[in-house]
Amino acid sequence: MEAAGPLRAALWALLLPLLPLVAADEGILHASGSGVPPVTKDYCIIYNSNWVSLPKTLDNATFTPLENLTSTVLCSSAEVPSVALQDKAVVVMRGNCTFLEKARNAQRLGAKMLLIASKSRLSGISDNKTDFEDVTLPIALIRYNDIVDMQLVLGNEVNVTLYSPPLPEFDYSMVVIFLIAVFTVALGGYWSGVAELENLKAVASPGERETRWKKEENVTLTPVTVILFVVICCVMLVLLYFFYKWLVYVIISVFCLASAMSLYNCLAALIGEIPFGQCRITCSNKTIEVRLIFLAIFCIAAAVVWAVFRNEDRWAWVLQDILGVAFCLNFIKTLKMPNFKSCVILLGLLLLYDVFFVFITPFITKNGASIMVEVAAGPFGNSEKLPVVIRVPRLEYSASTLCDLPFSLLGFGDIIVPGLLVAYCRRFDVQTRSSSVYYISCTIAYAVGMVLTFIVLALMKMGQPALLYLVPCTLITSSLIAWRRKEMKKFWKGSSYQMMEHLDYTGNEESTATATEQPGGQ
């Protein structure tokens, strides 16, 4: 069971779609200290754009002194200490009373701005708009940790202003995401084809070839196992939704183990092509190359370093992406789809899985949130994030950069799932000697699907299940190529069709030889 380890680990990789670049009603609190020159820093806020219109830029911005009242919740005027709030921005804690009560109390005391600090994850302000007709001051939610950071960095005398810069239509980090995804899918498919070619060259006799086919059944997904695989993915996602704060650490551990093994397999394949440095040592009657021992230590160290510094946003994403690409490459190369039929079932079911958990579950959950997006963002404000994504820092500055999504993200599943079809196309090219027409066409179709996903993402401004665009592009393209070349039957049945053709050929050959040896066959 060569693929059993990566198969179990990859179940986690199918949990995430392409995540949104933007979120509604996000703004920026620009804070300035009292030093010379003044130190400034930006913080994320959440506001309701239906109630208040914030300026787009800091041009002609009016700063307001900040009064920190996080020791109160401002549910009544009696809670406010004897301090003048006239023409100040006041920050209070989120309490049991409504935003409307806080706003009226703050306005009654002469405040010009109300900031509500929250220790949990920031969510939208959803009180009835008509109740706020008598409230004129802007209201916004801010993280409590940001208020603490503000005092540490800027001091006790802070002036603040609010603004909401226009959201970029396109972030160039998506170009990096695109290149990583296409490169991984193309290389994974090519690597799978190289392995197939080596197997065909190594097998000389029909008996050995039949043995090889039987052996490959242990690393393939049959239609039954495909269905089981998707069911397990659904169960895991639901369990993550309800038990995220415990299971996230299980997934982090699995990712470290699986990515270290995958990185070792990828680098070992490259080192194997180097003709020098092949000295060996004997251990338990087995000889091991010394360079592979050092390689294993390096791969384990890389995974451990990532685990320790995984929340370091400045550089940990680079290591996560390297480990993630290695994981995807190893999985695409190791797990072999036996035929196009299994590919259609796998991609079709995972497409339904993606769409259901992104678009349908908001009608089922109590808070109206998508289970997929909730799990991806970390339910209930959990600071730990699932590591099964490729992430690149956003290059265009906006409120979203400060809020929940400072990175552009792409789930491993959006690479692995179409990558398995690309790998099958490459192996089919090798088996039929078709000059890589299936492989190249399917890879280009994947790239087109990614571009289409980005376009829809930019237009709709909301999270998109990438498989909704990748699956039709790759499946339809592969089908059209097979139909145009009049190889659909062979392409649909895959290696089983090849094996039957080969057995029929060798069987007929043996019958002919037997008949020739008998007198009646002369």
Burial readout 319-348 (b: 16 or more C-beta within 10 A, e: otherwise): bbbebbbbbbbbbbbbbbbbbbbbbbbbbb
Is 134 assigned a catalytic role?
Answer: no
Q: Are 108 and 82 in contact (CB under 8 A)?
A: no
For the chain, the C-alpha Rg in angstroms (whole number) is 29
Chain CA centroid to CA 59, Å: 37
Q: Which of 520, 510, 413, 368 is nearest to 185 (CA)?
A: 413
Beta 280-283 vs 286-289: how paired, if at all? Answer: antiparallel
Q: Is 354 a catalytic residue?
A: yes
Collapse the DSSP code of 45 into the 3-class scheme (helix H, G, I; strand E, B; otherwise coil) and give the result: strand
Residues 120/381, Cβ–Cβ less than 8 Å: yes
Contact, 25 vs 400, CB < 8 A? no
**Exposed e or buried b for every residue in 258-294, given b needs 16+ CB within 10 A?**
bbbbbbbbbbeeebeeeeeeeeeeeeeeeeebebbee
Residue 2 CA to chain centroid, in angstroms? 25
Please pick, among 25, 321, 414, 429, the residue that the annotation labels catalytic: 414
Residue 315 has a CB neighbour count (10 Å cut-off) of 9
**Does residue 70 contact residue 92 with C-beta atoms inside 8 Å?**
yes
Q: Residue 307 has which token pair?
A: 């685990």
**How far, in Å, CA of 351 to CA of 356, rounded?**
9
Contact (CB, 8 A) for 218 and 2:
yes
The two tokens of residue 424 are 């099958």
Q: Which two tokens stand for residue 287?
A: 């000889």
Of 25, 171, 321, 354, the active-site residue reads 354
Coil, strand or helix at 91 = strand
b/e 40-73 (16+ beta carbons within 10 angstroms → b): ebbbbbbbbeebbebeeeeeeeeebbbbbbbebb
Return the ∠ at Cα 245 (arms to 244 and 251), rounded to 5°: 65
CA distance 316 to 306: 6
The SS3 of residue 40 is strand
| Per-residue DSSP letter, 393 | E
Per residue, the 3-state secondary structure of 180-199, as one string, reads HHHHHHHHHHHHHHHHHHHH
Task: Specify the amino acid at residue 11.
Answer: L
In three-state secondary structure terms, 395 is coil
Active site residues: 354, 414
